[in-house]
Amino acid sequence: MTGEGSGYSVSRAVAGDTLVGVQDSVLPDSTGGGAVMSNTTEPGLCYLLYLYFIPYWLFRDVSRGDQMLREQNYRYNREQRKYLPGYLLKWAVLCALLLASHYLAKELAAQLPDWEQLLSIWALFSGISFTAGLVLMSNIMVAWSFLTFMH
């Protein structure tokens, strides 16, 4: 942590419990002529999609630390379980779209023989993605059930 006026603020890292210094987006100009924009990095699209679709960043590891820390992390995880149905709904909608995309690609491949190879790859990709989505949905359901019903 740094003192006031240094141009840094402290924020919690998403992946862990460590504190990281992030430079403010607007720094005072040394000439007194206004503010100057700094070179801060914005999170990328892949990172934002990860935060939007994958719920595991919300939870803490309960297998490390002493007994009191593990119990505290378990209580924290039980509080965070309220977000899991929202993630489940996102994946249900995405899986429905992937399944519809799979059947659309198969139908188009039957009607357009010249594009059959490309559409088969599209059907393969959407089918595999649908299966991976179902696996993730089952994982989210098990995590929610465990955190809700197991004491």
Average pLDDT for 128-141 = 97
Q: Give yes or no for residue 120 having a pLDDT over 90.
A: yes
CA of residue 116 relative to chain centroid, distance: 34
pLDDT tens digits along 23-76: 444 444 455 555 555 677 888 999 999 999 999 999 999 999 999 999 999 999
Beta bridge pairs of residue 23: 8
Residues 133 and 83 in one domain: yes
Do 67 and 103 lie in one domain? The reply is yes
DSSP label at residue 127: H
Same domain assignment for residues 137 and 102: yes
Please state, in angstroms and rounded to a whole number, the distance separating the CA atoms of residues 18 and 15.
9
Q: Residue 41: its pLDDT value, please?
A: 84
Residues 54 and 73 in one domain: yes
Statement to judge: residues 62 and 112 lie in one domain = yes
Are 30 and 55 contained in the same domain? no
* DSSP secondary structure letters along 25-81: SEEE-TTSS-EEE--PPPPPHHHHHHHHH-GGGG---SSSS-HHHHHHHHHHHHHHG
**Backbone region of residue 56 per phi and psi (left: phi > 0; alpha: psi in -120 to 50; beta: other values):** alpha
Coil, helix or strand for 104? helix
Question: What domain count does the chain have?
Answer: 2
Residues 35 and 52 in one domain: no
Same domain, 26 and 52: no
**Are residues 111 and 71 part of one domain?**
yes
For residue 88, give Cα distances in angstroms to 22, 91, 136, 149.
32, 5, 9, 18
Distances (CA, A) of 53 to 40, 82, 83, 90, 139: 25, 15, 11, 7, 13
* Judgement on whether residues 28 and 49 belong to the same structural domain of the protein: no
Instruction: Tell me the residue range of the domain where 11 lies.
Output: 1-41
- Distinct helix (H) and strand (E) counts, the chain: 4, 4
Could you report the per-residue pLDDT of 81-97, keeping only the tens digit for each? 999 999 999 999 999 99
Instruction: Indicate if 56 and 84 belong to the same structural domain.
Output: yes
Do 35 and 58 have their domain in common? no
Q: What is the mean pLDDT of the chain?
A: 82
